[in-house]
Amino acid sequence: MRFTAYLQKTFKENLREWKITILALLFGPFFVYMMYAYFGTTNPSYTLLVMNQDRAVTFSGSRLNAGDNLLAEWKKAAYPDGKRIFKVQEITDLETAKKELKSRDADLLLIVPSDFSDRLRSFMEKKAGAVPSLINYGDPGHTRYLAAASFADYISFSFISALTRVDLPLNVDFQPISRGHSLNEFDLYVPALLVLAIIMVLFTAAASLIKEVDKGTMARLMLSKLTTLEFIGAISVNQMLIGLAALGLTFLAALHVGYATSGSVFLFLCVGLLSSLSVIAISLLVAAIIKTIFELLTVGVFPFFILMFFSDCMFPLPRIALFSLAGHPFYANDILPTALTVKAFNKILNFNAGFNDLIFELSGILILTAIYFLLGIWFFRYRHMRVR
């Protein structure tokens, strides 16, 4: 009876404090639309600068301009969805091109030497000698350069192989491991954005806990014989509903902008519900440290950013393996249950994983949630629920 009464009380308070609830619900969808506007739903195009110095030659009675032909191959290279891999720009000034590379307005510069066709003709006539080289400029510390160079090199090798009729020493048979179509950058960000929506429960849950301390009503709750489990249980149920609603809205936003998945939505929601519980457990620790709503909005921002950045929600982190369990490496940031949730969501939504594929992640989230809950309940009782 006390549990039900307090459950209704906290639910009504969440409705009255609609601003923070709306913020928690719309934070995830906002980032989905923002990331969609930034990445779009297609694969990235790389800016390729080409200085084509090649001079045409005559071979077997025909005109051969291998530089122009290779340039055409780079221009027509496309992803499976039809989008061009390169935005090709022909240039004549080397120094200007280098400046564009340094400012990262371009990703790769390729120079086709003036004797490119001539040396290819010599190679095809004699079936011996060296194939001419291309000159490659770029910043090795720039990931877009590395990707662009890989695409350009493969296209160049294939072009030379077809022109000279010399088989490549190695052929690679590509076998996708994702769902039916290739994943673009936005698809890979969606699991992290979904977890970001759940992390917002940290504020709403901690606010529901600490406002009883801030308003001085904790003593009255203790006099009403409301137990710690009833108090925390009622708040947890409400916050899990908020977390599930935020997760659902964020998922719908992703679907609205074109994200597609054939993974189990039921399994996805179950993992999301469990992850919401883990964030509530962490919010207990946060609420135990602070005493006022003002402190939540200042000091409480720090654990929020820890969860956001170290759960791989914003950018990939270095993998620091602590140990391996049943063939699964446990990384340093996996001490945060939200980091395991990102992996679980990625497996479910992008790779159609089932329950058996998620045993390690689910076990980790459950164990960490239990640990954080035990620590949080003890610390919160010690700080705010002791008879003084």
Does some domain include residue 279? yes
Q: Are residues 91 and 203 in the same domain?
A: no
Q: Are residues 18 and 144 in the same domain?
A: no
Q: Are residues 31 and 58 in the same domain?
A: no
Q: Are residues 108 and 204 in the same domain?
A: no
CA distances from 232 to 145, 165, 245, 338, 342 (A): 52, 73, 20, 21, 26
Structure tokens given for 32? 């989905």
Does some domain include residue 84? yes
Q: How far apart are CA 191 and CA 350, in angstroms?
A: 9
Residue finishing a domain among 131, 164, 197: 164
Q: Are residues 278 and 299 in the same domain?
A: yes
Does some domain include residue 169? no
Does some domain include residue 250? yes
What's phi and psi for 226, nearest 5 deg? -70, 120
Structure tokens given for 65? 């301009």
pLDDT score recorded for residue 42:
61
pLDDT score recorded for residue 41:
54
Residue finishing a domain among 134, 164, 194: 164
Q: Are residues 85 and 194 in the same domain?
A: no
Q: How far apart are CA 310 and CA 332, in angstroms?
A: 9
Q: How far apart are CA 268 and CA 289, in angstroms?
A: 32
The residue to which tokens 């992850």 are assigned: 275
Q: Are residues 112 and 195 in the same domain?
A: no
Does some domain include residue 171? no
Q: Are residues 66 and 206 in the same domain?
A: no
- SS3 for the chain is CHHHHHHHHHHHHHHHCHHHHHHHHHHHHHHHHHHHHHHCCCCCCEEEEEEECCCCEEECCEEECHHHHHHHHHHHCECCCCCECEEEEECCCHHHHHHHHHCCCCCEEEEECCCHHHHHHHHHHHCCCCCCCCEEECCCCCHHHHHHHHHHHHHHHHHHHHHHCCCCCCCCCCCCCCCCCCCCHHHHHHHHHHHHHHHCHHHHHHHHHHHHHHCCCHHHHHHCCCCHHHHHHHHHHHHHHHHHHHHHHHHHHHHHCCCCCCCCHHHHHHHHHHHHHHHHHHHHHHHHHCCCHHHHHHCCHHHHHHHHHHCCCCCCCCCCEEEEECCEEEEHHHHCHHHHHHHHHHHHHHHCCCHHHHHHHHHHHHHHHHHHHHHHHHHHHHHHCCCC
Q: Which domain holds residue 154?
A: 46-164
What's the chain's length in residues?
A: 388
CATH value at residue 106: 3.40.1710
Nearest partner of 271 among 189, 190, 333, 359, judged by Cα: 359
Mean pLDDT, the chain cut into blocks of 10 residues (388 residues total) = 84 85 94 86 82 88 88 90 88 91 92 90 78 87 89 91 78 64 80 96 92 81 81 93 96 93 94 97 94 87 92 81 87 94 95 93 97 94 76
Amino acid identity, residue 120? Answer: L
Contact 207, 39 (CB under 8 A): no
Does some domain include residue 174? no
pLDDT score recorded for residue 250:
98
Q: Are residues 349 and 370 in the same domain?
A: yes
Residue finishing a domain among 106, 131, 164: 164
Q: Are residues 195 and 340 in the same domain?
A: yes
Q: Are residues 99 and 230 in the same domain?
A: no
Q: How far apart are CA 346 and CA 188, in angstroms?
A: 8
pLDDT score recorded for residue 163:
86
pTM for the full model?
Answer: 0.79
Nearest partner of 105 among 138, 136, 74, judged by Cα: 138
Q: Are residues 133 and 232 in the same domain?
A: no
Contact 271, 281 (CB under 8 A): no
Does some domain include residue 51? yes
Does some domain include residue 170? no
Contact 75, 84 (CB under 8 A): yes
- Give the count of domains, the chain: 2
